Amino acid sequence: MYDRFYIMHMQDRPLYFSNITHHASVTQCLGSITGGVWYLGLAKPSVLDSKERKEEDCNNDILQSPCGHFYVPPAVDEVRIFRISGPKFVKLEKGTWHAGPLFKGDSMDFYNLELNNTNVVDHTKHDFKEQNGVVFLVEE
């Protein structure tokens, strides 16, 4: 596996989301190239190691990702939306649930640092609309 630092040209990313994603094995870094305003929905990591899994065996919320690891889905009330502006680079720790980047306007360019195959081998998604009947809306 190799790290890759690349530019993502994002289009049509309106200020709402219902899907949130995590990468259990890697960190990820994002930043706006122009320093414009953008938003990122976040929830704390919920990946379980084998010891935690044994302690939580009675918890029916434990799921296994298609990638192989075990996790607890993020709770609706634990999601926070952050407004980011200026020349900032955001580091997402392993397992951090994230949605975005979201922004006004037609398109924005972002720096992204991750493994070259992160979205193929380490991508777990939770659909709040399907599972919880919730869509998150950014209000400015």
Q: What is the Cα–Cα distance from 28 to 93, expressed in whole angstroms?
A: 7
Q: pLDDT per residue over 22-44, tens digit each?
A: 999 888 999 999 999 999 999 99
> What pLDDT is recorded for position 6?
84
Nearest 5°: CA angle at 19, between 41 and 46?
70
Token pair 């990820």 is found at 28
Whole-structure pTM value: 0.88
On the question of a cis peptide bond just before residue 101, with omega within 30 degrees of 0, the verdict is yes
CA distances from 134 to 7, 12, 77, 95 (A): 31, 21, 11, 21
Q: Domains of the chain by range and CATH?
A: 3-49+61-137 (2.60.120.480)
Kindly report, residue by residue over 46-75, the tens digit of the pLDDT: 999 865 665 555 566 899 999 899 999 999
pLDDT confidence of residue 99? 97
Residue 136 to residue 19: CA distance in whole angstroms: 9
Report residue 124 as tokens: 């777990």
CA distance 67 to 124: 7
